Structure 1
Amino acid sequence: MPRNRRPSSPASSPVSQLRIIGGRWRGRKVAFAPIEGLRPTGDRLRETLFNWLQFHLPGARCLDLFAGSGALGLEALSRGAAQVDFVELNRGAAQILRQQLGVLEAEGAQVHNCPAEVFLSQPAAPFDVIFVDPPFANDLWTATLAGLLEAGCVGEDTLIYVESPRNIQIAVPAGWQLEKEKQAGQVCMRLFRA
């Protein structure tokens, strides 16, 4: 029935917008699907995160694992990343993200419309920067971080950004160093180095 399909159809759904805050697309607004539970990383948090990453992004190969709106991967591309793989389970969100990448004429971007665990089940070359910001309600952090390691996504000196509720303790693989950490409202930002 069309009514049941509407939320996943970007052509018939209203869209929300976010603003890219730095780099070549600074100030550009991009659309994303208004999906329940989707909460793009806010401007202040993104500003902090990308200040942490500013010297690591030019030419970097990045993974935005629970892409949603694509805010983190788009910001990385805007600031000089050479490649971003966006992984998004929701078909509508993935389709809108592809459209926005086309509007921006983004090069080096690929959208994978599949669950994170499916993406991680295929061997991969190491990424330079990985963004892990899963739906907070699903408690996916520990399994996801272990999955990144098993899939070969993490190499020597890979930086892994993890966003979670501030009261959540996260088990990270042995040897990972906590480089940066910040609490902002109910959110905890952590940057690890493998």
Structure 2
Amino acid sequence: MRIVAGEWRRRQLRAPTGEATRPTADRTRETLFSMLQSRLGTFEGLAVADLFAGSGALGLEALSRGAAHCIFAENDAAAIRALRANIAALRAQPRCDVRPASVLQLGPAKAPVDLLLLDPPYGSGAGGVALDRLQRLDWIGPASWVALETARDEDAGARSLQVDAVREVGSARITLLRMPAAAD
């Protein structure tokens, strides 16, 4: 597993030990960030949240491409160790906030983030549940982009968000979501 592009391009990342975490494949990450690049134009200065973070590959990829700051939420101990080791190896500590907790334990946001990256366990339905809660707690605002990775045959389950795009890569489905446009 490696960083695909940006400041830390080709740098290797450590994956958590055990079977509890399924890291996003490089090809899937490359597709996701290509989709985001075409919509965002740049990652410069973005506030990002990598939820169900695992090794932190998604958030670290965003930071490598110029994001200003990333909040990582993860509750598996082995994944947290790998995440912290990856952040330290890249000397990214000043731009990272690691929260060793379940996504569902996060409190209200101080302000909506620009980009939320969610990679919950496949088949769990946790992504849709988390998105509903995060929207109620103001993590998602009108300008936010949400990227949700699920199994290829799994519904995103995001009832209150609008689907912008869907791509299937291997066994994964990437869904980009936004808040619905306000009616005039």
- TM-score of the superposition, structure 1-length normalised? 0.84
1:20 is aligned to: 3
CA contact (8 A) 2:43 2:67 kept: yes
Residue correspondence of structure 1 range 52-91 to structure 2 within 5 A: 52-54=35-37, 55-91=41-77
2:182 is aligned to: none
Shift of 1:20: 0.6
- Matched length: 174
Shift of 1:48: 1.1
1:8 is aligned to: none
**Residue ranges of structure 2 left out of the alignment (5+ in a row):** 180-184
Q: Distance in 2 between matches of 1:130 and 1:158?
A: 8
CA contact (8 A) 2:150 2:173 kept: yes
Q: Distance in 1 between matches of 2:84 and 2:159?
A: 32
Q: Distance in 1 between matches of 2:66 and 2:74?
A: 22
Q: Which of 145, 152, 163 is 2:138 aligned to?
A: 152
1:49 is aligned to: 32
CA contact (8 A) 2:72 2:96 kept: yes
Q: Distance in 2 between matches of 1:179 and 1:144?
A: 19
- TM-score of the superposition, structure 2-length normalised? 0.89
Quick one: structure 1 residues 89 and 154, their matched pair in 2 at CA, closer, same or farther if it must change by over 3 Å? same
Shift of 1:137: 4.1
**Residue ranges of structure 1 left out of the alignment (5+ in a row):** 1-17
1:168 is aligned to: 154
Q: Distance in 1 between matches of 2:113 and 2:56?
A: 17
Shift of 1:35: 2.6
Q: Distance in 1 between matches of 2:121 and 2:72?
A: 15
Provide runs of 4+ in structure 1 moved above 4 Å: none
Q: Distance in 1 between matches of 2:159 and 2:85?
A: 36
| Alignment pair present for 1:187 and 2:168 | no
Q: Distance in 2 between matches of 1:46 and 1:96?
A: 18
Q: Could you say which structure has the higher strand fraction? A: 1
Q: Which amino acid aligns with 1:23?
A: G
Partner SS for 1:92: helix
- 1:53-73: CA deviation from partner (whole Å, max 9, x where unpaired): 222411100000100011101
Structure of larger gyration radius: 1
Give the CA RMSD over aligned residues: 1.4
